[in-house]
Structure formats: structure tokens, C-alpha cells
Amino acid sequence: MNNTPWWASEDVWRKIAVWITAFMFVVLIFLTFDSVSKITAGSERVPPYSVINKRIGYEFNAERNMQVPVIGEQAPLFGQALTEEEAEALVTHGKKVVQGRNCMNCHTLLGNGAYFAPDLTKAWLDPAWGNEASRETLMTMFLKDPTNNARTFGSGRKMPNMNLTDEETRAVIAFLKWMSSIDTNGFPYNFKTIQQEG
Amino acid sequence: MAIGVLDSANLNGGQKLAVKYFTAAVALFVAQILFGILAGLQYLMPEFLYNVLDFNVNRMVHINAMIVWMLFGFIGAVYWLIEDEAGIEVVGLKLGNLAFWLFTSAVTVVVVVYLFIQTGPGTDTTRWLINEGREYIEAPRWADIGIVVCMLIFFYNAAATFMKGRWSGISGVLVLDLVALAGLYLAGMFYVTNISVDQYWWWWVIHLWVEATWEVLVGCIMAWGLMKTLGARRKIVTTWLYIEVALMFGSGILGLGHHYFWIGTPEYWFSIGGFFSALEPIPLVAMVVHAVYDSGVHRFKNANHPALAWLIAHAFGNFFGAGVWGFMHTLPQINLYTHGTQWTSSHGHLAFFGAYATINIAVFYLAIQKWRGNVWMAGGLADNGWKWKWSLALLNIGVVGMTMALLIAGYEQSFIERAVGGSTWSGYFAAQTNPWFMQGMWWRQLFGWVTAAGVVLLVWDLVTIGRGETRAAEMPEVEAPEPGGAAATAGA
Ligand code: HEM
Ligand code: HEM
Ligand SMILES: [Fe+2]
């Protein structure tokens, strides 16, 4: 026909393109089924919403060579144990507040978002909340009035008042507590948690 | 045909619609820069617009304006070339115009709501009417649906026009790519409480757009652009396009895994994401080779110097911004420390500018040339072409300068916050208040102003270039696709 070698042939490359694309897509679909099943709430990597009734830690695991969340004994959020349904409703409200107030265009969650403010993946465990006894009070105070409870660590960069209601604040804290229990393969690295009993 | 004056009689139907998209795109580009400057200033002066127009609002407008102006540019580019490529008129031009006005009004309403209402209570109504609160796709649900409708109209116009006229290799790839591009948007249109599942699908939209479907879309525009500016041969650019598709989808689809290291997903993504994303630079190298080789073969002889200069800027910008800057933080061992730092921002700026702003600007220059009656835009322009040359220089120096400043800040942040400080609240601010970081932010702002100056000059140049010019350009003929040949079946 003509003397174009096969490797410069339009036809050959068109077929290669189609087959590679189709193959990669199929593999991705397969992996997606697997991954999504492993991250549904209540799986090993992503605990159920009722985990907010428990103490959550983040400890070094020698076998995996990284820090992993550790779920401890009963330690209900605001001293009030919730059923699975109640917990899910509360965390859902918290997530919707986080979206509605656009927190992610200042903060990162699981490391994704904006870089103007601290990562919130383990905010529930942050040592800046003092200790377990003071944590819930200090978090509530801060979220309700970040201007007057600002820390800024010398940066002068304050969080604006997001006008959260009491209910919204409680929901956001529940969401943050639940998020801190997700197994994120050791991110953030070297995080030092708040003082907690074992 | 009037030379040197803007006359829509110089344009075919698709092109008349295209210039509307381009005009809106340029306006949004200016808005992007304005809000970028405001957001950058808030790093330096925390009290600036505090509680009035907070950082999250400025940033949201900054990145949303960017996504929309680039999409407008792409849609415009397709309408620009479609009648030439298909050999007939656009089938649904009225509908296409309607979609343009729908899209533009929706964007205007969304931005006004962002600026004046900003946020809402934690209810479904907020997500439907005000803000979805997910980076890049913050647009409320009603606007999502509007966007999908407009994309469907656009897709119908593209597919039906080629179907009725003729197919080519380029148009076949283009149409299939548009299906994927529009389909992916749906993956970002539902609510879930589970943040791991949320981010899993969110990355489908973001990553599979910029590192797969958008890359292939600009590959198509590039292929056509090289024929248009240099007179490159259709067979060669089409073959290259197939190679690029194979390499880009071959690496980019599973390269998605580089976003699944830390969001709760299983550990096997370390190897899959790390391996395939590390291959992603290969097609970008191929693109540079292709562009430079073609330019060399044709001895850079071309009738639109600014457009060719921006096409070459695209090939290099894509390679450095996406290929090199992306590669540098794509392995999990490194990403553990750079994840979600100014490092990411450094890459984001160079990649979006280098890969997508550049090629859009090239198309704007092609458009303005034809709009003024195929006016002379090669060497020896009236004022020596100082405006396009300076805006090219200022924009590139500005963005590269910002990228370097952010990179230095990012290194410091990775070290002080992510490695030593353990990413706590105090660790975060230890990094933010470090002199290396603070100076980085000042330099970013300075180069931001340089970028802004480049944009001003670009707009001025687009408005004036070729005005009053009397010489006509010697445009190369774009080879028509072979009737019946292999290309004709490519769409099937
Ligand atoms: C033109 C193509 C590309 C564009 C426009 C682009 C843009 C971006 C943007 C904006 C982000 C930040 C997303 C966010 O806000 O969270 C990002 C993240 C990332 N990109 Fe790209 N990118 C491109 C290509 C690439 C390539 C080819 C690679 C790898 C070789 C890469 C590697 C990464 C990685 C690893 C991240 C995650 C950063 C983190 O962990 O924070 N990118 N990209
Ligand atoms: C006047 C110049 C500009 C300034 C001062 C500026 C400033 C900023 C700031 C402050 C942010 C927020 C980063 C953070 O969360 O800390 C940002 C994000 C971003 N900007 Fe710009 N910008 C400018 C121009 C551009 C241009 C020309 C582009 C691309 C065409 C661009 C693309 C982006 C992207 C993709 C992000 C999101 C990055 C990420 O999430 O990693 N910007 N910009
Ligand atoms: Fe990616």
C-alpha cells in the first residue's frame, strides 16, 4: 500500500489509544468498587458515626510503621451517648455546615482544600485544646467566637466569625471527632495528640 | 472583506459564537486575577477585608473564575474550528447562542451570590442555592444542572455537525473526549456525609479533568493550531494526537491514585498511584518534542507570531507545570510531607497557567486575526508588536516568579509543619511565621502584580492588535481530512 512503517501508522496508534483507554478505565472501575467498599462508614478504615461515643487516639503502629487511629473505651461527646442513627444525623449536620460555610476554602480536610489555615484532619486531637476535660468547652468557645478566642501564634491571622448556632457548633465538633478516627495511612505524620488517658 | 477593522462578516457562524465565549473568558480571566490579588494580600495583611470579604470567598471566586474562563475558552475554540473541520455550518447555532447566554447569566448570578450572600446554614437549601462548599465545584446545585444542560447542547452541536459534515481523526477524538469530560462532572453532583467517599469522587472530577480529559482536549486544539499556524501536515498531527491519547489516558487514569494516599483509601494506592502518575510526564515530553519539531520543520515560518509563541509556551508550560512540578511531589514518600502545603499551590499555579491559560490565549490571538479580516500578524507589526511581546514576557515571568516563591514557602512548610511540627495548630503557625515563608508570600504578591500587569497588557493588545493594519496575512491552507479514509471512522 504505502511504505509507512507500522510504528508511524495512524491506524495502529488509533487502535492502541482506544484499547489502552478502555483497559485503564475498566481497571479503575474495578478498583473503585473495591475502594468504596473499604471506606464506607462502619468499615475497618472508616469507623461508624457512633465512634463519637468513644475515645479516639492516634498512635504509632510498629507493624505498619505509621501512626494509626486507635478507638478506645466509652467517652461520649458532650457526655451524651448517641445511637447509631442519632450519631449519623449529627455528623451529617456537621458536614453540611462545613460545606455551607465553605470552611474548605481556608482549611484542608484530609489534606485537601486551602492552605490559609491549619489542617483539620486531627483537629479533635490537637494539643492546643489543653486536655480532655477542657477540650469540648474550648472548642465550642473558639468556634462560636474565633475573633475573641484567637490564638494566631504571633501571625495575626484570625478565623472570621462564622455565626455558628449552638446546634451547628455541636454538629461541627461531632464531625471533626468522627473525621479524626479515619485511617489516613499515617497522614498527618508525627502528629502529637492532646493528653488523654489510654 | 475589510482588513484591519473588527467585522463579524469575516467570521463564519461558529466563529461568531466563539468570539462571544472568548470575550466572556477574557472578562473572567481579569476577575480571576483581581480576586487572586485580594486573597494573596490577606496572607500579608490579615485584617484586610476581615469579616467583609474573607479569604475563603476571594479564593473561591479566584479558582471558580479560572475554571469557568478556561471552559469558555475551550468551548469557544471548538466552535471556532468546527465549521472548517466539518466542512459545513454548525447545525444548531441558535441553540448554541441560547446556551451561551444561559451559561453566562448563570455564572453571573452565582458570582453575585458568592460575593453578597457568601455562606448559608448547614441545610440542603444552602447547597442548592448558595454554595456547595467543595473546592473548584462550589457552584450550587441549580447551577450544576444549568451547566450540564449547556454542555449537552454544546456536545450535541459538536457531534451532530461532524456527523452531518465529515469526521476527521481530530474531531473523532474531540467528540469522544467531550463525552467523558461532561460525564465526569456528574461524579461531583451528589452529597455524601462520609468525607472519604466525598473526596474519592471529588478527585474523579478534578483529576480526571485536568490530567486526562482536558489534556486530550487541548491536544486536539494544539493539533489543529499547528496546522493553522504552521501548515503542519494533517497525517502527522493526527498520528501524534493518537500517541498522546494513548500515553495520557494510559498514565493519567490510574494516576488518579496519587490523590488516594491519605483520604482513608487502602494502601494499594501507594504503588498504583505512585507508579502511574510518575509516567504522566511522558506524554507531556512528547508534546514538547512534537511542537518544537513541527516548528523547526516549518522553520517557524508562520502568519501569526503571538499565537505560535503562546502555543510553544503551552508545550513548555504543560511540561514544567504539570510534568516536572507534578512529578516532584507525586511519590507517596514525598507527598506525605508536601500534601496540602504551599507546594501544592506552587504546582497548581504553574500547571493551570502553563497548560491551559497559554493555549487559550493562543486561540484568542488566532481569533482576533480572522475577526479583523485575516490581518497581518507576523513580523514587522506596526509598533513592533511590543504589547504582545511584553505581555507574553510579563505573564510568564509573573507566574514563574509566583511559582518559585510558593515553592520556597512550600519547602519550608513541608519541613517545619509537616515533618517537625506534626501538622498541629501550633506547628502550622510555626511554619507560617517563619521568615522564609513570610518572604515567600511577599515575593508571591510582587510577582502577582507582574502577572496582573501582563494581563492588562494582554487585554489592551487583543483590543488593538492589527487595528488599522492594511496588509493581509498569508495563511497556510489547513489540509482537509481524507474523505472516507481511516480518519472518517475514528468517531465510531
Ligand atoms: C495540566 C495538568 C495539571 C494541572 C492543571 C494540575 C493541577 C493541580 C492542582 C490545582 C492541584 C491542587 C488540587 C487541590 O486544590 O487540592 C494538584 C494536585 C496535585 N497534582 Fe497536579 N496538575 C496537573 C498535572 C499533574 C501531573 C502530571 C502530576 C504528576 C506527575 C500531578 C501531581 C499532583 C499531585 C501529586 C497533587 C496532590 C498535591 C497534594 O497532595 O496536595 N499533577 N494538581
Ligand atoms: C495575580 C496573580 C495571582 C495571585 C496573587 C494568586 C493568589 C492565589 C492565592 C492566595 C491562592 C490560595 C492558595 C491557598 O489556599 O493558600 C490561589 C490559589 C490558586 N490559584 Fe492563584 N493567584 C494568581 C494568579 C493565578 C493564575 C494566573 C492562575 C492560573 C491560571 C492561578 C491558579 C490558582 C489555582 C489553581 C489555585 C488553587 C491552588 C491549590 O489549591 O493548590 N492563580 N491563588
Ligand atoms: Fe492529579
CA-CA distance, A84 to B36, in Å (whole number)?
Answer: 43
The CA B348 to ligand 1 mean position distance, Å, reads 6
pLDDT band of residue A6 (cuts 50, 70, 90) is: confident
- Give the pTM: 0.96
CA-CA distance, B429 to B425, in Å (whole number)?
Answer: 7
Residue spans of the domains in chain B: they are 12-167
Atom of ligand 1 nearest to the CA of B259: 37
- What's the pLDDT score for residue A2? 62
Task: Summarize pLDDT for A17-35 with one digit per residue, the tens.
Answer: 999 999 999 999 999 999 9
Using a CB–CB cutoff of 8 Å, tell me whether B197 touches chain A.
yes
**A with B: how many residue pairs have Cβ under 8 Å apart?**
268
CA-CA distance, B242 to B403, in Å (whole number)?
Answer: 32
What phi, psi does A63 have (nearest 5°)?
A: -65, -45
What phi, psi does B352 have (nearest 5°)?
A: -65, -40
CB contact under 8 A, B194 and A100: no
Q: What is the residue-averaged pLDDT of chain A?
A: 95
DSSP symbols for B196-219? HHHHHHHHHHHHHIIIIIHHHHHH
CA-CA distance, B305 to B465, in Å (whole number)?
Answer: 12
Written as one letter, the residue type at A115 is: Y
Cβ–Cβ under 8 Å, residues B315 and B288: yes
Residues of A in contact with B132 (CB under 8 A): 99
DSSP symbols for B143-179? HHHHHHHHHHHHHHHHHHHHHHS---HHHHHHHHHHH
Of chain B, the percentage scoring pLDDT greater than 70 comes to 98
- Which of B70, B69, B76, B71 lies closest to B14 in space, CA to CA? B76
Show the CA angle centred on residue B241, arms to residues B99 and A5, nearest 5°: 155
Strands A66-74 and A54-61: antiparallel
- What's the pLDDT score for residue B298? 81
- Which of B291, B284, B222 lies closest to B247 in space, CA to CA? B284
CB contact under 8 A, A96 and B123: yes
Which ipTM was obtained for this model?
Answer: 0.96
Question: Which residues have C-beta within 8 Å of that of residue B370, sequence separation ≥ 6?
Answer: B10, B11, B15
For atom 34 of ligand 1, the residue with the nearest CA is: B330
Residues of B in contact with A40 (CB under 8 A): 194, 197
For atom 31 of ligand 2, the residue with the nearest CA is: B349
Is residue B231 pLDDT above 90, yes or no? no
Task: Kindly tell me the sign of the dihedral angle through the C-alpha atoms of A103, A106, A108, A114.
Answer: positive
Written as one letter, the residue type at A154 is: G
The CA B206 to ligand 3 mean position distance, Å, reads 8
Mutate to test the pocket of ligand 1, among B62, B137, B211 (most ligand atoms within 8 A of CB): B211
Residues of B in contact with A35 (CB under 8 A): 200, 260, 265-266, 269
Q: In this structure, what C-alpha cell is assigned to residue B391?
A: 505581555
Cβ–Cβ under 8 Å, residues A180 and B70: no
Please tell me which residue of chain B has the smallest CA distance to A111.
Answer: B340
Task: Name the DSSP letter for residue A80.
Answer: -
Question: Which residues have C-beta within 8 Å of that of residue B134, sequence separation ≥ 6?
Answer: A99, A104, B188, B198, B202
pLDDT band of residue B144 (cuts 50, 70, 90) is: very high
Instruction: Say which ligand is closest to the CA of B214.
Output: 1
B106-121: average pLDDT: 95
Residue that is written with C-alpha cell 515533618 in the block: B419
Largest CA distance in chain A: 83
* CB nearest B262 (choices: A25, A103, A187): A187
- What's the pLDDT score for residue B410? 98
- What's the pLDDT score for residue B485? 45
Residues of B in contact with A94 (CB under 8 A): 122
- What's the pLDDT score for residue B491? 41
Task: Summarize pLDDT for B299-354 with one digit per residue, the tens.
Answer: 778 889 999 999 999 999 999 999 999 999 999 999 999 999 999 999 999 999 99
pLDDT band of residue B475 (cuts 50, 70, 90) is: confident
